[in-house]
Amino acid sequence: MKLSSKNIETRLDTVYDAIVVGGGMGGLSAAIYLARYGLKCLVVEKGRGRSFWMQDTRNFLGQDPTAPGRDIIKHGTEQALGWGADFLRGFVEEVTDEGETFAVKVKIGKKDEVGHTLRTKYVVAASGVMDNLPKLDDMQNVYDYAGYTLHVCMICDGFDMWNQKAALIVNTEGQANAAFVLNWFTPYISVFTHGLFEVSAEMKQKLADHGYPLYEQPIAKFHGEDHRMSGIELADGTMVDATTGLVGMGSQRHNAYLKGIDLEYNGQDLVTDNMCKTSHDRIFALGDLKQGLNQVSIAVADGTLAATQIWRTTRRAAEPRKWEENIGKLSA
């Protein structure tokens, strides 16, 4: 059922089997499975995650390469609701471990100062990441190209950059090393630091050895039309040709709501086992929040794994259903 501030009261006494934080590719896959295992689950989605910004979906079996992420999300939300999952547009502020259950504090809309506390046995963290984009005075100029010809994922879109003049925009020296992977797809790489850090003499030499120009001025503007880049203009007026770009500036993980719980991380990624279970027995993590490839197919499989493990544990703890004791519940 779709929940909102108008009917959330009906769920304040519910103990969910699982609350899924994030209604992107992984979270919706988990919800579809959880619901079909007959488990009571709720998806809380804040809106506008990474897959919402995907203008196309190149690599995912069964989808046209032009399928926008938001269409798959909309379809998946209907799927999950159809099988009986609850869905709430809201923001998860904090998760507190109460022993048998978690208290999940959710705010619904910006005016909801107090929030609502929901309860669940398991938490599925599927809240993903948001890519860091270069900050310009006119951010609309970035959004005109981001997700079209200015990409954030080399695995997803490297093929579409094949042998093109490509801008690689980075904010640390470590990210600049992406040039030496991107050159599988194209050798015509110009590297931009947007003025954010000092490039070491060693990196300068390595880029020069490959013939990749380095631009350390801030970016003023992207040039092009109809979402197709033609070049980048720097603060000093320099124009650099580029028909495509890769933003390699890292990403922010949406996992602040877990900060009160002691979980094992590897860098920023949650450590999980082969069923997506974190170091806490009742918290699972999917897709971009955990170690591994940030791909739709991986997040969708992660949802399958987490939901299946939650079902297994729940089922094994339940009393077996015997024929005689259930007479009367028989379906028509």
Residue 266 Cβ vs its own copies, minimum distance, rounded to whole Å: 13
Residue found under tokens 């470590």: 174
Cα separation, 283 vs 30, in Å, equals 13
Residue 264 Cβ vs its own copies, minimum distance, rounded to whole Å: 17
* Nearest CB to its own copies, comparing residues 44 and 191: 191
* Nearest CB to its own copies, comparing residues 5 and 55: 55
CB neighbour list of residue 36: distance below 8 Å, 6 or more residues apart = 83
Q: What is the DSSP-derived secondary structure letter of residue 49? A: -
Residue found under tokens 């013939």: 211
DSSP-based three-state secondary structure for 313 = helix
Q: Which string of b and e fits 167-206 if b means at least 16 CB within 10 Å?
A: bbbbbeeebbebbeebbebbebbbbbbbebeeeeeebeee
List of residues contacting its own copies (CB under 8 A): 25, 28-29, 32-33, 35-38, 58-63, 65, 67, 72, 75-76, 79, 82-83, 155, 158-159, 162-165, 180-181, 183-189, 209-212, 243, 274, 292-293, 295, 297-298, 300-305, 308, 311, 315, 318, 320-326, 329-331
* Nearest CB to its own copies, comparing residues 195 and 292: 292
Residue 83 Cβ vs its own copies, minimum distance, rounded to whole Å: 7
Cβ–Cβ < 8 Å for 168, 176: yes
From the list 195, 196, 219, the residue with the least C-alpha distance to 139 is: 219
* Nearest CB to its own copies, comparing residues 185 and 222: 185
Cα separation, 140 vs 223, in Å, equals 12
The DSSP secondary structure of 81-97, one letter per residue, reads: HHTT-EEEE-EEEEEEE
* Nearest CB to its own copies, comparing residues 111 and 321: 321
Residue 114 Cβ vs its own copies, minimum distance, rounded to whole Å: 34
* Nearest CB to its own copies, comparing residues 225 and 324: 324
Residue 265 Cβ vs its own copies, minimum distance, rounded to whole Å: 18
